[in-house]
Structure 1
Amino acid sequence: MQQVTALVLAGKRSGALDPLAANADVAQKCVVPIYGKPLIEHVVHALSLSPRIAEIRVVAHEPDEIAAIPLVAKLRRGGRLSFREAQFNLVDSAKSGANGALFPILLTTADNVLVTSAGYEEFIEKALAEEAGAAAALARKEDVQKADPEGQKRFYEFRDGSYSNCNMYWIGSQGALSAAEVFRGGGQFVKFPKRIAKAFGVTNLIRFYFGWGTKEDIFAQISKRFGYKMVPIVMSDGQFAVDVDNQRTYDVAGRLLARRDGLGEAAPSATDS
């Protein structure tokens, strides 16, 4: 079984205190509590349950607050989890986390609380099957809205449908790490379309804007730009596209975690694992 390294981006954007963190009276968003546990504990717990994950690297500016979480401390003592220093840019944080790591790398974020262990394994299996140099996880609009109508407000429009980003990425090799440069301007391309031109070129901006081409067509064009096979991975669960960005998505994620628990699908308390 091929194993991967998981990078969990848990830094601060531009060094500013996130509004959710301010409301929760904590120093950083990743430790804001949701449904009984800090955001990052949900993520680390799901990753730790997968035998595909060899090492979990948490990329953070302020690791002490995260290290105090019992599950994190336990995994750290066992050598499964370590910290890497975050930068004030997503690309530089990814490179910092990847330094000396075992490839391939699965990159996710500390607010991706709804992705399950099975979800991470689905992404890994599909990326390996595609022999991807780099990949991004997507969820169908209909699946996201089925999970919760308020889960996402904006979607990428392709000729074969509408999709949302799931904040899960695949970096197949050290060389493919250059693909992370598309986030140098901050990502969030649906909210800030002009960033597409800077990251992918004007031609691809036009293709995105008018929905010309399938998602595979667009990714093939991007692959030519970076020199590595970049593929879209469509996930089976629309919940995976809901991360905690603001109060609205915090409320949605809380509802979905509660519903999952009510259906008997929630993971057990991490402190009991």
Structure 2
Amino acid sequence: MLNYPNSVGGGWTAIILAGQRPGPDHFSAAYGVDAKALIPVAGAPMLGHVARALLASPSIGRILVLAQSPGDLLKGSLDWMAAEPRIRGLVTGDGISLSIDQVAGADPAPFPLLVTTADHPLLTPEIVEAFIAGAQGSDAAYGAVERQVAERAWPGMKRTWVKLSDGHFTGANLFALTAPRSRRAVQAWADIEKDRKRALRLLFYLGPTILLRALTRTISLDRATAASGRKIGIDLRAVRLPFADAAIDVDKPSDLVLAEHILMLRANAAERKSDSGAEGSGPDHSNGV
């Protein structure tokens, strides 16, 4: 497992969504844990990888873990999170969007907010900082990775791709809410979430023109995003990330295999870098220091 150095922390609040969907979770049960956030990746729970990356991100000042039972998550191998003063657990409400809406801008989670998920163990401070830089100046933003970027690094990776006029894109499980008016995006999300099986609800929010152009691939990512933002009265932005790993969350065993492979490569690279630095330090290296 890679250990990032702790940053002093900036003005952003990070929210990690670590709750469980209703019903049994066969994925986590297969790995002998009670929650998906606790599935081990390269020897450590997924949630721990995400928290360490956020703690090492210069822009992040505090972290809020949203879960049905955060106390049950932040113990055992994650007890260091319970002891970390910059991390706080909070019980979720009904549904992801409503949980975010309840805390956004309140004392535990002042704006600006970065929202991510506990199943994003490949998150790095570099990804976080690039996303925050791209979100600056918007009311709300979301991260996206283009298919060419992702498959250049990991050919054949299985993702859900949205096909638009300027490329195929997948989400990066990163969202920014920068000011009180950005809660409109969360509230729209909540309404869609309640009726996610009804196509007319999506049509109401996007409008027939946007939806038709998206389906026929005659609109770009930026234009579709901007139009969707105008529909709900905010400046909404898509932040294109140049990191293939930002597109990978762990939803199934094949994702877990890929994530562990990538973390192994990172650890080997860090070890080689460390050895190279030690070799250049002369007597200290010869003395084993």
Q: Deviations over 1:46-102 (max 9, x none)?
A: 0011121111000001212321155x5434434201011113412112123423322
Counterpart pick for 2:57 among 50, 53, 75: 50
CA distance in 1, matches of 2:65, 2:210: 33
Is the contact made by 1:5 and 1:55 (CA closer than 8 Å) also made in structure 2? Answer: yes
Deviation at 1:5, TM superposition (A): 0.3
State the secondary structure of the residue aligned to 2:270: coil
CA distance in 2, matches of 1:152, 1:175: 35
What are the within-5 Å matches in structure 2 for residues 166-185 of structure 1?
Answer: 166-184=172-190, 185=192
Counterpart pick for 1:164 among 139, 160, 170: 170
Q: Which moved more, 1:78-87 or 1:227-236?
A: 78-87
Query: TM-score w.r.t. structure 1 length?
Result: 0.86
Deviation at 1:106, TM superposition (A): 0.3
State the secondary structure of the residue aligned to 2:142: strand
Q: Which moved more, 1:174-183 or 1:222-231?
A: 174-183
CA distance in 2, matches of 1:240, 1:176: 23
Counterpart pick for 1:23 among 8, 11, 30: 30
State the secondary structure of the residue aligned to 1:263: helix
Distance 1:92 1:34, change over 3 A: same
Q: Structure 1 counterpart of 2:46, which letter?
A: L
* 1:111 is aligned to 2:82: no
State the secondary structure of the residue aligned to 1:183: helix
Which residue of the partner structure matches residue 267 of structure 2?
261
- The runs of 5 or more residues in structure 1 that have no matched partner are 269-273
CA distance in 1, matches of 2:203, 2:174: 22
Query: TM-score w.r.t. structure 2 length?
Result: 0.82
Is the contact made by 2:10 and 2:61 (CA closer than 8 Å) also made in structure 1? Answer: no
* 1:233 is aligned to 2:235: no
Is the contact made by 1:11 and 1:88 (CA closer than 8 Å) also made in structure 2? Answer: no
Q: Structure 2 counterpart of 1:59, which letter?
A: L
CA distance in 2, matches of 1:263, 1:27: 33
CA distance in 2, matches of 1:66, 1:138: 29
* 1:215 is aligned to 2:221: yes
Q: Structure 1 counterpart of 2:240, which letter?
A: V
What are the within-5 Å matches in structure 2 for residues 1-273 of structure 1?
Answer: 3-13=11-21, 15-70=22-77, 72-98=78-104, 99-100=106-107, 101-128=109-136, 131-184=137-190, 185-186=192-193, 194=199, 196-197=202-203, 199-264=205-270
CA distance in 2, matches of 1:263, 1:17: 38
Deviation at 1:111, TM superposition (A): 0.4
Deviation at 1:234, TM superposition (A): 0.6
Identity, % of aligned positions: 25
Is the contact made by 2:74 and 2:81 (CA closer than 8 Å) also made in structure 1? Answer: no
Q: Structure 2 counterpart of 1:160, which letter?
A: D
Distance 1:264 1:90, change over 3 A: same
- The runs of 5 or more residues in structure 2 that have no matched partner are 1-8, 275-289
Deviation at 1:253, TM superposition (A): 1.6
Q: Structure 2 counterpart of 1:181, which letter?
A: Q
Deviation at 1:165, TM superposition (A): 0.5
Q: Deviations over 1:216-270 (max 9, x none)?
A: 110111111111100110111111011011222222222222222222289x9xx
State the secondary structure of the residue aligned to 1:87: coil
CA distance in 1, matches of 2:18, 2:224: 29
CA distance in 2, matches of 1:38, 1:253: 12
Q: Deviations over 1:80-130 (max 9, x none)?
A: 0101111341211212342332211000000011110111011111211xx
Is the contact made by 1:10 and 1:58 (CA closer than 8 Å) also made in structure 2? Answer: yes
Q: Structure 2 counterpart of 1:52, which letter?
A: S
Is the contact made by 2:205 and 2:228 (CA closer than 8 Å) also made in structure 1? Answer: no
CA distance in 2, matches of 1:97, 1:18: 26
Deviation at 1:18, TM superposition (A): 2.0
Is the contact made by 1:31 and 1:38 (CA closer than 8 Å) also made in structure 2? Answer: yes
Deviation at 1:38, TM superposition (A): 0.2
Structure with bigger gyration radius: 2
